[in-house]
Structure 1
Amino acid sequence: MTMHSATLAINETLQARKAAGEKVLHLGFGEAGLPVPDPVAEALARAAGLNGYGAVVGSSDVREAAAGWFTRRNLVTEPDQVLFAPGSKALLFALLAALPGDLVLPRPAWVSYAAQASLTGKSVVDVPIPAGSGGVPDPELLEGALADARAAGLNPGVLLLTVPDNPTGTVARPEDLREVCAIADRHGLAVVADEIYAELCHNGRPAPCPAAFLPERTVVTSGLSKSMALGGWRIGLARVPGNAWGVRLMRELVGVASEVWSSLAAPMQAAAAYVLQDPPDVTAHIAAARRLHAAVARAVHGEFVRAGAVCRAPEAGFYLYPDFEPVRPYLARQDITTGAELASALLERHGVGVLAGEAFGDTAGGLRARVATSLLYGETAQERWEALRSDDPAALPWISASLDHLRDALAVLTPRI
């Protein structure tokens, strides 16, 4: 039986509670939480009359724009290597449907990867992430996990990497990525690189790209839902290698796309073509978003650390992955012994919504949760614009009030260290 996506389910739950008048702190859903810049909205409006069906892969204009976008990011690309879809989520599903073999997945990982593997009939080979960062499997454990999987009758064929990572909000170290890709090469694995957060590294530097280490068999997926906060517009794109393997894969992907979504809506392609040319207003907007995400994530990170949790420092996007193991005895006295119980207590007692780590494939007994900070920027477009332009967004009254709400909830649940 297919379950409701955990991230979508908690968003709907928290929205319903908020609509009912409850005081809710929404830390459960990875929506980028920012307004649409006027030039981007105008590009969409100009394309409103484009109401005909188009090519499955996307128009020549949007594919050329995407090829230039990848090339400027040191991944030389031709237009025929690019496919567009209504969100990168659809492309990830299509890739799992098209590529042979079972899925090798770092743990914890975004909730939909394993679910999509199940929908496509693939088994999942879980490999823990390294201590320092998420999104890639621990290189020291990967070889053994592949051997164990084959001994158990599985057929590892696809390695899925998320750089930067959701749920940990970290960026894989280049040396780990290089080693993981070398192992994938030795074992003949295809690599799917989910780079939806690649524009949002807090230090402003590019994230390492798996395609730099295994160009012959790495497919990159991306989109505009995170960097441009256009999640509701559902704009995703994928880049396949420019070799015979990539040509065959593109043919398979087009086959899936033609039967499932036909093509990305033409007005959305026009908006994407504008954004992917990197006009100054777009690059400035993304830079401001990057600063805002970093500032608020750091502030929220500080609250969890002060409450006694262990938590990797945020490096990209708008996620944290606190671990409450150091305060387990204190939580146990409140009948909280798992991540699910922790998430339930935060929500039911304090109106704070987070997702338990087990939703991301973590062990059920762990006291870990995924925290999303991107819906703290304001309730109105005006507040969100002010947050984007602020030198100290955490000090803005509405963001400061959310930090107070979180601090009060954690003070009840955990001892001060």
Structure 2
Amino acid sequence: MTTTHSACSVHSAALAIDDAVRARREAGHDVLHLGFGEAGLPVAPGLAEALADAHLRNGYGSVAGSPHARTAAAGWFVRRGLPTEPEHILFAPGSKPLLFALLAAIGGDVVLPCPAWVSYAAQAALFGRRVISVPVPSEAGGIPDPDLLDQALRQAKADGARPGVLILTIPDNPTGTIAPTEHVKAVCAIAERHGLALISDEIYAELSHHGTAPSPVQHLPDRTVVTTGLSKSLALGGWRIGLVRTPAGRWGRRLQQEVTGIASEIWSSLAAPMQAVATHALSDPPDVTAHIAAARRLHACIAADVHTRLAAAGAHCRPPQAGFYLYPDFAPAREALRTQGITTGTDLATTLLDRHGIATLPGSAFGEPDAALTLRVATSLLYGATPQQRHTALTTEEPQTLPWIAPALHRLSSALGEILNVTR
């Protein structure tokens, strides 16, 4: 499906729901926040010290990042099987501006899996680019279905589109799944035939519940750009540390130069104290790797519990494989929902919020038709309201039994049971 988007005039859906929850809470309402992808964990040991030690670094730095930060990032990729030199790295205040700069530099219309993270299509709209939306496979999200991608590209070109870039999310937001290696390889082969560049958003790669996630770099190394950051694996969203790895070769060097030029005119450089944090974190010190391992276990435990509850309520939902998202489809309960006037995903999300104080996002925020009865559920803000609660959740054997997590999980089950007329 090819769509043309006008320039954005509204908030990101994810940020909008977070603002709405804050407003409700300030008004005295009790809201269970399952709508926002905040990693919900305390700062890892050592990072606060790195930031404090760098607090006097108040001058502008290199646009791409300091030599120390770029070397640390290159080593981080090398240890994960991707040969990388420091000159392939560029830092930014979050990965979102990097994605925007990459779209500006690469050009062409944007090919997306459906559903896809809310900002991809919105950023394409800011450039006046078409979005070519291709459904994801039944097994997992984050990539277009290989069996549908080639046909969709041919049709889009026949309709006058100029596909230039394919964005993949491995692991995926919103589905919390990891695309199989054979599907990633097939998608890369199709992209190569059509002359597409790939942007591989791998910001959740450190949070794969079991094993590792495949990177398209392994299959299309000369045309794949990898974006990542520290907001998910280390819960540093507010510190705004993002980075990109551009490929070696002529195309990669030219892209690095163009993105650096764009960065120089928009954000100048990542804040110098944050570059010091990145240098420490990306060196994989034991305290940081242990913190990420604990986060991985916590995310997996709570996501699996919520998946069980969604399935018990009758939703179709892919089992979570990474991060802290689930993407239930309530189509099996369409008739029961229709009797309550719920015919769209937006209706369902609104009912959960207004009737039960549970915030989620409808699938339409991620590119699906509003008639789809899908929701994106984020579990990571269940871990606690205070640093101490979140630390306890991170270190306990059975976090789902904690006295502030167990009632929240029960509240979700009860709300779903009431809306879907599920007898327990």
Q: What code does the residue aligned with 1:237 have?
A: L
Residues 233-272 of structure 1 correspond to what in structure 2 (within 5 A)? 233-272=239-278
- Could you tell me which residue of structure 1 aligns to residue 329 of structure 2? 323
Q: SS in structure 2 opposite 1:340? A: helix
Contact 1:308 1:415 in 2 (8 A): no
- Could you tell me which residue of structure 2 aligns to residue 5 of structure 1? 12
Residue 221 (structure 1) aligned with residue 227 (structure 2): yes
- Could you tell me which residue of structure 2 aligns to residue 89 of structure 1? 96
Contact 1:393 1:399 in 2 (8 A): yes
Q: SS in structure 1 opposite 2:381? A: coil
Note the C-alpha offset of 1:100. 2.0
Distance of 2:371 and 2:404 partners within structure 1: 34
- Could you tell me which residue of structure 2 aligns to residue 372 of structure 1? 378
Residue 295 (structure 1) aligned with residue 301 (structure 2): yes
Note the C-alpha offset of 1:301. 1.1
Distance of 1:4 and 1:168 partners within structure 2: 22
Q: What code does the residue aligned with 1:167 have?
A: P
- What's the CA shift string for 1:122-161, capped at 9, x where partnerless? 1110000001100000000000000010001000010000
- Could you tell me which residue of structure 1 aligns to residue 4 of structure 2? none
Contact 2:45 2:287 in 1 (8 A): no
Distance of 1:38 and 1:236 partners within structure 2: 20
Which among 17, 25, 38 is matched to residue 32 of structure 2?
A: 25
Q: SS in structure 2 opposite 1:371? A: strand
- Could you tell me which residue of structure 2 aligns to residue 110 of structure 1? 117
Note the C-alpha offset of 1:365. 0.5
Contact 1:305 1:311 in 2 (8 A): yes
Distance of 1:334 and 1:304 partners within structure 2: 19
- Could you tell me which residue of structure 1 aligns to residue 66 of structure 2? 59
Residue 39 (structure 1) aligned with residue 46 (structure 2): yes
Distance of 2:304 and 2:26 partners within structure 1: 29
Distance of 2:376 and 2:240 partners within structure 1: 23
Q: What code does the residue aligned with 1:143 have?
A: D
- Could you tell me which residue of structure 1 aligns to residue 288 of structure 2? 282
Structure 1: runs of 5+ lacking an equivalent: none
- Could you tell me which residue of structure 2 aligns to residue 230 of structure 1? 236
Q: SS in structure 2 opposite 1:253? A: helix
Distance of 1:18 and 1:210 partners within structure 2: 42
Q: What code does the residue aligned with 2:356 have?
A: H
Q: SS in structure 2 opposite 1:238? A: strand
- What's the CA shift string for 1:93-139, capped at 9, x where partnerless? 00001002110000000000000011122111000000110000000
What's the TM-score, normalizing by structure 2? Answer: 0.97
Contact 1:327 1:415 in 2 (8 A): no
- Could you tell me which residue of structure 2 aligns to residue 353 of structure 1? 359
Which among 147, 150, 166 is matched to residue 143 of structure 1?
A: 150
Distance of 1:24 and 1:405 partners within structure 2: 11
Note the C-alpha offset of 1:407. 1.3
Coordinate RMSD, CA, aligned: 0.7
- Could you tell me which residue of structure 2 aligns to residue 309 of structure 1? 315
Note the C-alpha offset of 1:179. 0.1
Which among 338, 362, 366 is matched to residue 332 of structure 1?
A: 338
- What's the CA shift string for 1:55-89, capped at 9, x where partnerless? 10000000000000000000010000000000000
What's the TM-score, normalizing by structure 1? Answer: 0.99
Aligned pairs, number:
416
Distance of 1:38 and 1:320 partners within structure 2: 29
Moved over 4 A (4+): none
Contact 1:102 1:123 in 2 (8 A): yes
Distance of 2:290 and 2:322 partners within structure 1: 17
Q: What code does the residue aligned with 1:322 have?
A: P
Residues 182-193 of structure 1 correspond to what in structure 2 (within 5 A)? 182-193=189-200
Contact 1:292 1:393 in 2 (8 A): yes
- What's the CA shift string for 1:323-370, capped at 9, x where partnerless? 000011100000001000000000000000000000000111010010
Distance of 2:112 and 2:52 partners within structure 1: 40
Note the C-alpha offset of 1:310. 0.6
Distance of 2:72 and 2:376 partners within structure 1: 34
- Could you tell me which residue of structure 2 aligns to residue 382 of structure 1? 388
Identity of aligned residues (%): 62
Q: What code does the residue aligned with 1:331 have?
A: L
Which among 163, 166, 169 is matched to residue 162 of structure 1?
A: 169
Distance of 1:37 and 1:251 partners within structure 2: 33
